[in-house]
Amino acid sequence: MQFAAKVKFVREQLKISQEELARALNVSYATVNRWENNKSTPNNIARDAFYAVCKRNGVHVDRDDPLK
């Protein structure tokens, strides 16, 4: 699954907006929007934060694929 699809999946599972996810990750709304629309990918720090939010909230997404 591409990272863009993971972002959307997680948001839907948590029932939160892009803006709410951005606040949780300490990034801008525009950044989350670009990730979700596959316009950019996160750096390693932001990616780690994303997976930490997933883990804290009990949402499982595979982390084994490279940045896409």
Helix (H), strand (E), coil (C) string for 2-54: CHHHHHHHHHHHHCCCHHHHHHHHCCCHHHHHHHHCCCCCCCHHHHHHHHHHH
What does the block give as tokens for 33?
């929007």
Residue-level pLDDT at 47: 95
Number of neighbours of residue 50 by Cβ within 10 angstroms: 23
Residue appearing with tokens 């932001």: 46
The domain covering 3-56 belongs, at the CATH homologous superfamily level, to lambda repressor-like DNA-binding domains (1.10.260.40)
Residue-level pLDDT at 63: 80
**One pLDDT digit (tens) per residue for the chain, 68 residues:** 899 999 999 999 999 999 999 999 999 999 999 999 999 999 999 999 999 999 999 999 988 755 44
**pTM higher than 0.75 for the full model?**
yes
Domain extents in the chain: 3-56
